[in-house]
Amino acid sequence: MSPSLWIKNYQKNYDKKQVLIDDLVTDSKVILLIGENGCGKTTVLKSLSLLLCFEGEASVGTSWMYMSDAFKPPAHFTVNQYLNHVCALSNTANYEQMRSLITYFDMEKHKHIPIKNLSKGMHQKVNIIQTLCESKDVYLMDEPLDGLDAKNREKFIEYLKKSTGIFVCATHNPSHYERLSPEKIYL
């Protein structure tokens, strides 16, 4: 079986900065990109999702989904309208999975509220749900715990533990993921 994620001689230059990853070959379920603000975590995720060009080689398997930390859905949509719209636009989204995630992340009572009226944590839960309702092998997630309270951070970690997917997560707080024994890449 070939590795699910590999990177060889990754290099990306931007804003007088250089991001380097020599070699990474892993079958780990959770891979963390760790570093201070501006060190290149988002750049690596965007590169792996083919949104940015880079030097070197990389493979994230046959299917992947990128979750941006800059979530800006149409404000006039309700949670339910937005998530149904996302599923309708995708050929890999799973409506049943979406409904299950709405329940799992305690969004049932909020699904008819306009997104513009939600808190930052609720916005983040919608962002996570829209990402995870896609059936992919690899999920590239930029700061997925940002804005979540302790209860929902724990729910997200528990979801990762039970999931069959591979998760590459940019984070400032690797301690939240420790019980998953993640592979760590320090940038």
Q: Report the pLDDT value the prediction gives residue 85, as an integer from 0 to 100.
A: 92
* pTM of this structure: 0.91
Question: How many other CB atoms sit within 10 Å of the CB of residue 62?
Answer: 9
Among 27, 26, 23, 25, CA closest to 11: 23
Tell me the CA distances in angstroms from 63 to 72, 77, 110, 155, 166, one per residue in order. 24, 28, 30, 24, 11
Q: How far apart are CA 89 and CA 181, in angstroms?
A: 35
Nearest Cα to Cα of residue 169 among 4, 30, 11: 30
More confident residue, 67 or 13: 67
2 falls in which pLDDT band (50, 70, 90)?
very low
Question: Cβ neighbours of residue 154 under 8 Å, at least 6 residues apart?
Answer: none
Q: The tokens of 143 are what?
A: 């700061």
Q: What is the per-residue pLDDT for 144?
A: 96
Calculate the alpha carbon distances from 32 to 9, 36, 98, 114, 143 in Å.
18, 13, 25, 33, 10
Look at residue 1 in the predicted model and tell me its pLDDT: 42
pLDDT digits (tens, 9 = 90+) for 77-114: 999 999 999 988 887 778 899 999 999 999 999 999 99
